[in-house]
Amino acid sequence: MLDTFPSFEVSPGLTHPLGVSEIESGINFAIFSQHASAVTLCIILPKSVHDGMIELALDPQKNRTGDIWHICIKELPRGGVLYGYRIDGPRNWHEGHRFDDSIILIDPYAKLIEGRRAFGDESNKMCRFFGTYDFNSLPFDWGENYKLPNVLEKDLVIYEMNVRAFTADETSSLDQDQRGSYLGLIEKIPHLLELGVNAVELLPVFEFDELELQRRPNPRDHMINTWGYSTINFFAPMSRYASCGGGPVRASWEFKEMVKALHGAGIEVILDVVYNHTNEADDENPYTTSFRGIDNKVYYMVDLNNNAQLLNFSGCGNTFNCNHPTVMELILESLRHWVTEYHVDGFRFDLASVLCRGTDGTPINAPPLVKAISKDSVLSRCKIIAEPWDCGGLYLVGKFPNWDRWAEWNGKYRDDIRRFIKGDAGMKGNFATRIAGSADLYRVNKRKPYHSVNFVIAHDGFTLYDLVSYNNKHNDANGEGGNDGCNDNFSWNCGVEGETSDANINALRSRQMKNFHLALMVSQGTPMMLMGDEYGHTRYGNNNSYGHDTTINNFQWGQLEARKNDHFRFFSKMIKFRLSHNVLRKENFIGKNDITWLEDNWYNEESRFLAFMLHDGNGGDIYLAFNAHHFSIKTAIPSPPRNRSWYRVVDTNLKSPDDFVTEGVSGIRETYDVAPYSAILLEAK
């Protein structure tokens, strides 16, 4: 080693912490590999120090303790160093190994990743990714008056968004170098405040390779992965979300600036995290960057009864071996890192049912990782949300092992609300159940209504506008012959497929979007909406737009301005109405004294009308009626509470500003004509 690297002293170093750390004797490197027979540390120093790559072969007798390989280098620069590993081991494919020492691998515990600097730079699509570190920077200044928002779970209104797509469009009016960045998001916080949300759920912000689809000829090689569900590393923030092509150190600092600014505005930060698979694809077309070459048999589920092929419960070619003790600790350390270093407030776990599978893929009732996350002291303040299904058919909506802490994306809410509002028969009872908090799913042990994350729209699927404008998906631009994306959308185009100049159809679509948003905001549970739905964003029927770094995904600020006084106004006022009325945000499941169903037609499959009253205990009751028929319903309005009168706040059939009148309109009579495909909200005052 000294002959290869004469200018620095080396020593065996420490086994922990894994990754890179600064210790008294120098810079320490430690990496896990149970099955490796040879490990070589590869270092690229700043050009001012050394030009070229230096490779240090670790001595198994001196630099290995158990399954940890380690080395300490004295006088190594405290920043600007790139590093990776070449690792060799058994070449027995059928035993699950995929070692290849020709590939330089990323340290799973690297806190920063260096790659291409500009997002989508196709001239650099074959770039290599390295780990790096920064011990030069001062600790981030969170500020003397800084505090966490600590929004109660019952009060959350979540806004699902993509950091890049939020400001990448030129209509954002930001400088070119700031568009699509963490700092760009900061500039648009006033919009989030005007809308009224108090939490953002960020699509993946862990380092990913947006050009992975272009590394070899294939039907999708025209696309750029802009959603980010293809993780390279679980600790490093996406470096190409830094402004001005600033790289990983700047990305880390700017991410913290973004969190600090959001927290200063009272908005929590929830990260959409992908621990169910990585970017390394399948055995047919592997993209080896880290885990596969370090210890495939440990990090991934393999089928030892089928030539050790990678098991695929993620739909992306591999499945992370989440409940292996080593992998479980990696995931826990990653989560703690984002809480302690970046101050995030929670996590939404993509395809979380994978976390409920054993090392052979078999579902387990008390998965160690899910329990450990639930009980972890560092994660105790965090919101934790499961997407309770995977691509292997493990559907756990209402059944996700939760230790009374985990919330769930309520897929049944999405489907039932969609079907009732569009007028499907026999959905009234289901609609009522979902509006009332899905007690059939979540009223068990100490679970609460807010453990149901209610959503009509999410990033994956139709936008709200497309839900009321398309009967079928239109995914030809994705290059998969229309075979990708969900087929069960429960959508209705209101009479014409796609764009139309028909004023009646456009008016119906507008009503339907407002009906969906009204239902979402008056439902017990935690509402989540998708970025862009507040102005009616369209992807022109593409319900799987992950690969388009274009206007299909990018927030259109010009359209927002054009709809500020109509569509956006309604959405914003409805969110703020929810947050100002406790009766819509119950801590516990509603009982018979909290609601009156004005209904004697439950068992009529053809009935598409539902009316009910919510009682707040102080006379400020709320009356709601939803009419999903194609004809008007004259409904009897019950007497208001004593010494109160009904005021009409919402009628989605009316044009703005009459569709939502905050102070309410008096003069409500004993009956009310609820127009076809519309809804009303009355408040007792």
User: How many CB atoms are closer than 10 A to CB 130?
Assistant: 22
Q: Cβ(26)–Cβ(72) under 8 Å?
A: yes
* 350 in catalytic set: yes
Angle between helix 291-299 and 325-340 (nearest 10): 120
Q: Which residue has the tokens 């290599």?
A: 128
- Give strand pairing partners of 158: 199, 528
Whether the CB-CB separation of 412 and 433 falls below 8 Å is answered with: no
Q: Rounded distance, CA 29 to CA 84, Å?
A: 10
Kindly report whether the peptide bond that precedes residue 6 is cis, defined as omega within 30 degrees of 0: no
- The Cα–Cα gap between 79 and 44 comes to 11
Closest CA to 601 of 610, 588, 612, 614: 610
d(CA 646, CA 639): 8
Point out the catalytic residue in the list 114, 210, 283, 387: 387
Nearest-CA neighbor of 210 among 457, 481, 553?
553
Q: What span, in angstroms and rounded, lies between the C-alpha atoms of 371 and 322? A: 12
User: How many whole angstroms separate alpha carbon 128 and alpha carbon 105?
Assistant: 9
Catalytic residue among 169, 187, 210, 350: 350
Q: Give the residue among 191, 289, 120 at the shortest CA–CA distance from 559.
A: 191
DSSP assignment letter at 311: P
DSSP letter string, 566-621: THHHHHHHHHHHHHT-GGGS-SS---TTTEEE--S-TT-TT--EEEEEE--SSS--
- Long-range contacts, stretch 664-669, CB < 8 angstroms, 24+ apart: 668/637, 669/637
d(CA 505, CA 277): 42
- 387 catalytic residue (yes or no): yes
The Cβ of residue 94 has, within 10 Å, a number of other Cβ atoms equal to 11
Any idea which residues carry the catalytic annotation? 350, 387
